[in-house]
Structure 1
Amino acid sequence: MQNFSDDAHVQTGDDLALQTYFKAGISPDDVSAVFPLKRAQPVLQAFTALFHGGFNAVLLRLLVLRELAADVESPSLTRADINAKLAYLEPEALETVLSRLRGNGLLAWDSGAGVYRITPTARNVMAALESLIQVEEHNDQAEMSYMLTQVAGAQAVGGVSVEQLHHLLGRLIELTEEFSDAIASGSEFQLRAAQKKWHTACDWVEKGSKIIHAITHDERADAATHKAAQAIGRAQSALLNMQGMFSRALNQIERQRVHLGQSGLSTTDIKTWLLQKDDLAALADQALAHPVTPLFITPSEMIDVAESELLSHRVSALAGALPTGENAVSIANDNDDALHELDHWLDLLSNIEPGEKGVPLQDLLLPASFAVASYRASMLPLLGDPNESALQGATGTLARLPLIFQSKDKMQKLNDAQLAAISIASLVAAPRADDTPTAASPIQETP
C-alpha cells in the first residue's frame, strides 16, 4: 500500500525562528530588505505549499491546481466534479493534494454549498507559472521575455517597481558581459552561438524600447524608477552597439581560416563535422592495422640517445665536403639594346645641372622611336625610389639621380612622326636625392 502522506505539516529542524538566522544583536526588523518579504508572506506561503518536497510531489500539486483552474465555466467545483476531472489519479493521492491546497489558501472550501473555489492567490501564482512555462516553450535564448513582460504589464497598470527594472537591467549587463567574453575568446563557434543569442536579445530590446521610453517620461514615476530606466536605456545601447564587434571578430577569423588544399574544406568544416559525431573514437575503427605499442624509457636512456644523435650530426657536418661550384645561369645579355639605351639615357640625365629652370620632357625622350620613348618614360617612376636606390646597377643609378619630375595635367601636341602628344612636364635638378617624383603616362602614340 502506497503512502501519500504530505510532509508539509511536519515540524522539521529547519523550521526555526527567523531571529536564529541573524547575528546576535541584529533584529530582522532592522534589515530593510526583510520587510517586503514578510509583507508578501501569503503569496510566499502559497509558493512554499506548491514547491516544498520532491519534484514528483510538486508536479502532482501543479497538475491538480492547473486542471482545476482551467475550468472557467463554473467558479465552483463539487467534489464529484473534481473526482471526474482527475479520475486518473489515486483517490488517496488526490485527497492529500486537495488537503494541502486547502490548508495553504490555494483552494477555498465552502462548507455551506459544499463546493471548492480557486482563490485569487492561486490564480496569480498559476498566471506567473504559465508565463514562465510559455517562455521555456518559446526557447527564448536571451531569457529576457519574462522580465520584459512583467515590466510591460506593470507599466500598463501604472505599478512598475524599481526591483523589476533592476532585474531587467541585471540581465542586460549579464548578456553584454557574456557576449564580450565570447568575442574575446576568439572561438568561431562561441562567436556564432553568441551572435545568434545577441539577435534574440536585440529583438526584445526593440520591443522594450517603447516601454522604457514611457517609463522615463512618466511624471508619476519617482527618481529611483527614472534612474533605473535610464540605466536600462544605456545598457540597451551598449548591447546594440556590439554588432560591429561581432563583425570584426568574425572577419578576423575568416582571414585566418585554413583551407585544405583545393578541396574547399576548411578547418571549421572539419571541426563542425567532428562535433556532430557522438563517438569520436569509433572513427579510428579499422583505421590502424596494428595497435599502437607504447615505449617506456628512463631519463638516462633518453640522455644517451640524445648525446649520440648530437655527436653523429657534428661528425657528419665536419666530415662533409663542400659542394662543387656551378656556373650561374645567364639571365641577361650584356649586349642587350635596352641596357645600352639605358646607359645612354643616364648620361643624358646626368648632364642636367642644378639651378637650371628645368629640361622639358620631350627634349629628354626625343628624338627616338615610340618604343624607345616609351621605355624611357617607363623608367621615370624610378627617380627617387628608396627601394630601388639601395640596389646596384643602372636602375639603381637612375633612382639615385638628384632629379625631380614635375608635370601638369595637360598634353601638348608634337611635330613628330611617331608621337602625337606628350604631357607638359620637365626634370629639374635638386640638391636632395630622396624626393619622390610624380609618375604619369606622359606620352601618346600617333594614330
Structure 2
Amino acid sequence: MSNTAHAAASTATAAEHNPTEQEQALQAHFQPHVSVDEIEQVFHLKRAQPLLQVFTALFHGGFESVLVRLLVLRELANDTTSSAFSRADINTRLAYLLPESLETVLMRLRTNGLLAWDTQQGVYRVTPMARNVLSSIDALLTLGQDHDEAEMGFLLSQVAGAQAVGGVTSEQLQHLLGRLTDLTDEFRDAIASGSEFRLRESQAKWHTACDWVEKGSEILRAITSDENADAATHRAAQAIGRAQSSLLNMQGMFSRALNQIERQRVHLGQSGLSTTDIKRWLLAHPDLASLAEDAIEQPVKPLFITPAEMIDVAETELMAERVAVVASGLPSGEDAPLTVSEDQDMQRELDDWLARLSDFATLNNFPSIADESPRDIKVHEALLPASFAVASYRASMLPLLGDEGEASLQGATAELARLPLQFAPTDMMVQLDDMEVAAMTLARLSLDLNDSDKAAS
C-alpha cells in the first residue's frame, strides 16, 4: 500500500472517530446516553439538509430582510419571457431597490443555491429548487387569504396533489389527521363551555370543516383503494375517515347545546331584550369605558378620618335609621304586578307536540301498519298545518328523537327522546303550498318497529 493510500485510510478513520463540529453541536441538545443517529426523524431531517438550508437562507433574520429576499426571487421567477437574466436586466427590473441592498440579496441567493451564476454567459438563472420553494410558499399564501377558518385547505391540497402524482405519504396524512383531532377537541370544549357566543363561532367553523371533509372524502377513498400504498398510509387514511365521521356527528351536539341555551335564556322584563342581546351590543361597542362618560358629575373624593370618628358616624346613622322605621311604621300593601309568563305557553306547546308524536308513534295509529300505506311520512306533513313559529319550534325538537343522552334524563324532552321514532333529514328543499311556511328541508319520520316491540313487551 502506498503512502497516499495510508494517508487516505488514516483520514477516513479519523473522520469516523472524530465527529464534525456540526454533529457535536447537534448532540449537545440531546441526553448524553442518546445518540443522534438512533432517532429516525433526525435521519430524515439531516437527509433534507440542502432544502432546509434554502429555507434558512430565505427566512433567517428580520422580517424586512426576509421580505426583500422573497421580493427579488419572486420578481425573477415570475418573468417567463426569459430564463436568464443579466445584471443589467436585474438592475432595470428592480430599480426601486438600493444597489447595496440588491447586491447583498443576490449574493445570499446565489450562495445558497437559489440563483445559479453562468460564468460563460454572465447571466443569472433561477434554480429548480427555488421554483419549488416559491410554489409551496405561494400555495400557502393563497390558501391563507381564502378565509379558511378551519385551516384545512393547505393540508388537504398537499394530500390531493401528492395523490394525483402517486406520492402521498403517511406523514402528510398524519398532519391532516392531527388537524382534524384539534378541531374535534376545540368543538367539544366549546360545547362544554356553555357559552352561546363561543358555540356560534365554533358552529360556523364546523360548517367550514365539513365542507373540506366533503372535498377530501374522494381523495381518501382513492388512497384506501390503492393497492400500491403501504400499510402505514392505509392506516392513516382509515384513521382520517374515523376522525371525519366523529366530526360530522357533532351536529346533534351543537343543536342540543344551543337548544338548552335557548330554554335557559333570560329576558329583561317585557322589553323583548335578552341577556344575549345586551352582551352582543356590549361586544360591538368600540370603547366600553366611554359609556361611563357624563354618568358621574363629580369624581369620587376619598375622605381620610380616624377610627373614632368612623364609629361615631356609624352609630349616628344606625340610630337615625331605627327612629325612622319606628316613626313611619309598616308600609301599606300593594297588589303584585300582573305578568304574562312565556314559559307556560312554551311548555303547553311542547306538551301538545309530545302528545301528537306519542299518538303518531302508537303502533295502531301509524300508517305504515296498513299494507297500502307507506312505512314513513314526510316531516312537513307532521309539522303542518301550524304557524311559522310553532312549526319552527316543533322542527327544533326533532333531532332529540333517539338521543340516548337526552332519553336518560327526566322531563318532556326526555319523553320525546324515548319515542320509537326515527328522524331522517336530507339536504334537499321542498316547496310547500302553505300560508306560513314557503319551503322546508325534505325529511322523513318513520316508526322504529324494533323499539315499538320492546316498548309493547
Q: TM-score, normalised by structure 1?
A: 0.63
**1:152 maps to 2:160:** yes
SS of residue matched to 2:167: coil
User: 1:233 offset after TM fit, Å?
Assistant: 0.6
1-side partners of 2:113 and 2:107: how far apart? 10
User: 1:237 offset after TM fit, Å?
Assistant: 0.7
Amino acid at match of 2:219: I
2:290 corresponds in structure 1 to 282
1:45-94 deviation per Cα after TM superposition (whole angstroms, max 9, x unaligned): 10000011111101110111111111112121121111111110001110
The structure that is helix-richer by fraction is 2
Range that drifts further, 158-167 or 283-292: 283-292
Amino acid at match of 2:284: Q
2-side partners of 1:33 and 1:302: how far apart? 73
The verdict on how the C-alpha distance between 1:220 and 1:303 changes in structure 2, with shifts beyond 3 A counting, is farther
Aligned residue among 115, 133, 136 for 1:107: 115
Aligned residue among 198, 204, 220 for 2:206: 198
In the TM superposition, 1:265-344 aligns within 5 A as 265-293=273-301
User: 1:214 offset after TM fit, Å?
Assistant: 1.1
1:318-354 deviation per Cα after TM superposition (whole angstroms, max 9, x unaligned): 9x9999xxxxxxxxxxxxxxxxxxxxxxxxxxxxxxx
1:122 corresponds in structure 2 to 130
2-side partners of 1:114 and 1:151: how far apart? 40
1:41 corresponds in structure 2 to 49
SS of residue matched to 1:109: strand
The verdict on how the C-alpha distance between 1:280 and 1:300 changes in structure 2, with shifts beyond 3 A counting, is farther
Q: Is there any run of 5+ residues in structure 1 with no aligned partner, and where?
A: 1-12, 324-447
2-side partners of 1:272 and 1:21: how far apart? 50
1:132-155 deviation per Cα after TM superposition (whole angstroms, max 9, x unaligned): 111221121111100000011111
User: 1:275 offset after TM fit, Å?
Assistant: 1.2
The verdict on how the C-alpha distance between 1:306 and 1:67 changes in structure 2, with shifts beyond 3 A counting, is same
**1:27 maps to 2:35:** yes
User: 1:314 offset after TM fit, Å?
Assistant: 11
2-side partners of 1:229 and 1:310: how far apart? 76
Aligned residue among 171, 185, 198 for 1:177: 185
Aligned residue among 205, 209, 230 for 1:222: 230
SS of residue matched to 2:40: coil
User: 1:293 offset after TM fit, Å?
Assistant: 4.7
Range that drifts further, 287-296 or 228-237: 287-296
Q: TM-score, normalised by structure 2?
A: 0.62
The verdict on how the C-alpha distance between 1:308 and 1:20 changes in structure 2, with shifts beyond 3 A counting, is same
Aligned residues: 311
Aligned residue among 252, 255, 260 for 1:244: 252
Greater Cα radius of gyration, structure 1 or 2: 1
The verdict on how the C-alpha distance between 1:131 and 1:301 changes in structure 2, with shifts beyond 3 A counting, is farther
1-side partners of 2:308 and 2:237: how far apart? 70
The verdict on how the C-alpha distance between 1:295 and 1:141 changes in structure 2, with shifts beyond 3 A counting, is farther
Amino acid at match of 1:55: F
2:93 corresponds in structure 1 to 85
1-side partners of 2:324 and 2:67: how far apart? 80
User: 1:260 offset after TM fit, Å?
Assistant: 2.2
2:151 corresponds in structure 1 to 143
SS of residue matched to 1:269: helix
2-side partners of 1:297 and 1:267: how far apart? 42
1-side partners of 2:199 and 2:151: how far apart? 18
**1:208 maps to 2:216:** yes
Amino acid at match of 2:189: D
The verdict on how the C-alpha distance between 1:122 and 1:288 changes in structure 2, with shifts beyond 3 A counting, is same
SS of residue matched to 1:21: coil
1:140-193 deviation per Cα after TM superposition (whole angstroms, max 9, x unaligned): 111110000001111111111111111110110001111111111111111111
2:263 corresponds in structure 1 to 255
2:80 corresponds in structure 1 to 72
Aligned residue among 115, 130, 139 for 1:131: 139
The verdict on how the C-alpha distance between 1:261 and 1:80 changes in structure 2, with shifts beyond 3 A counting, is same
2-side partners of 1:272 and 1:14: how far apart? 57
2-side partners of 1:103 and 1:31: how far apart? 30
**1:233 maps to 2:257:** no
SS of residue matched to 1:73: coil
1-side partners of 2:171 and 2:308: how far apart? 68
1:21-63 deviation per Cα after TM superposition (whole angstroms, max 9, x unaligned): 2333433111111111011111101000001111110111011
2-side partners of 1:82 and 1:238: how far apart? 54
**1:187 maps to 2:195:** yes
**1:53 maps to 2:64:** no
Fraction of identical pairs, as percent = 69
The verdict on how the C-alpha distance between 1:300 and 1:239 changes in structure 2, with shifts beyond 3 A counting, is farther
Amino acid at match of 2:224: T
Amino acid at match of 1:62: L
The verdict on how the C-alpha distance between 1:166 and 1:300 changes in structure 2, with shifts beyond 3 A counting, is farther
User: 1:303 offset after TM fit, Å?
Assistant: 10
2-side partners of 1:289 and 1:206: how far apart? 60
1-side partners of 2:185 and 2:253: how far apart? 13
The verdict on how the C-alpha distance between 1:214 and 1:288 changes in structure 2, with shifts beyond 3 A counting, is same
User: 1:18 offset after TM fit, Å?
Assistant: 2.1
1:245-272 deviation per Cα after TM superposition (whole angstroms, max 9, x unaligned): 1111111112222222332222111111
Amino acid at match of 1:197: K
SS of residue matched to 2:124: strand
